[in-house]
Amino acid sequence: MLTLVTHPACLGHENAPGHPETPRRLEAVLARLEEDLVATGHASWREAPDVADADLLRVHTAEHLERLARVDREGGGVLDPDTAMRPGSLAAARRAAGAAVLATEHALAGGGPAFCAVRPPGHHATPGEAMGFCLLNNAAVAARVALERLGAPRVLIVDFDVHHGNGTADAFRAEPRVRYVSSHQWPHYPGTGAAEDTGAGNLFHAPLPPGLPAATYTRALLHAVDRALRGFAPALLIFSAGFDGLRGDPLGGFAWEPDDVAAFTRGIVERAGRPAVVSVLEGGYDPPRVAEAAARHAAALAG
């Protein structure tokens, strides 16, 4: 059975009016997961804990955490042109990271796959900086916890958000126990993720232009996964599950449909040898479409 991890605090993070990253995204996902998976007996909910500072410090600098805490005490503020905090923002981010940690503990203990229905997203947050709607890097924190606290020897991160997860790449570019795969639109925000950026031989980037057939994007993603898996058997597979690669998303130009997402999810799990699996919600800015694709992705995780 699939475990779904969330917390009401993740709905309490508000951006400025007109900002694409809204609570409506998560509300739509939660409703669709409940209808498609929980009500049919294929999944159950767990509540995310507050993340431990010791786990955040495995990825983020103390200065970064102190800045977030200070801005929170001041009632909010602008962190970069796209990223701001208001009352409730830090609590949401901490529960999102806590969800990723709980899901990782659950999956590595043999409890089965887990999907974290959380916000704000995380993959742009670098060790020392919030950016791109992201305050804390949920997938990176989960991977570090797996390596350093839970004893996983190797972790594969597969990021299919339409934007490159620069924060995740930066967190692991010198870490041979982690391989990071990203299929993303190029050129596009944040301007990172060139094919020749291979880190310590552990970054596998598949940058592609907008407007191509969906099958082209899928082939590129799966080819990057196959390259990452050569001589590398992960104990844990983490998906950075961004659904802004769907056709018609206001912030992307890819062409995937929910069926494509379900198919490549199954394909990646099979290729990786069916390790423990955790998935964390990242982007996607057309709420009904995000909800449909997230439910199809989660159902593929559940088998």
Question: So where are the chain's domains?
Answer: 2-302
Superfamily of domain 2-302: Histone deacetylase domain (3.40.800.20)
Give 43's strand partners.
2
- The answer to whether the beta carbons of residues 124 and 133 sit under 8 Å apart is yes
**Which of the residues are catalytic?**
124
Q: Give me the helix-helix angle, 287-302 and 23-33, nearest 10°.
A: 40
Give the tens place of pLDDT for each residue, 279-301.
Answer: 999 999 999 999 999 999 999 99
Q: How confident is the model at residue 21 (pLDDT cuts 50, 70, 90)?
A: very high
Query: What is the reported pTM?
Result: 0.98
Give the tens place of pLDDT for each residue, 201-241.
Answer: 999 999 999 999 999 999 999 999 999 999 999 999 999 99
Three-class SS state of 78? strand
Give the tens place of pLDDT for each residue, 28-37.
Answer: 999 999 999 9
Start-to-end Cα distance in the chain: 9
- The answer to whether the beta carbons of residues 139 and 51 sit under 8 Å apart is no
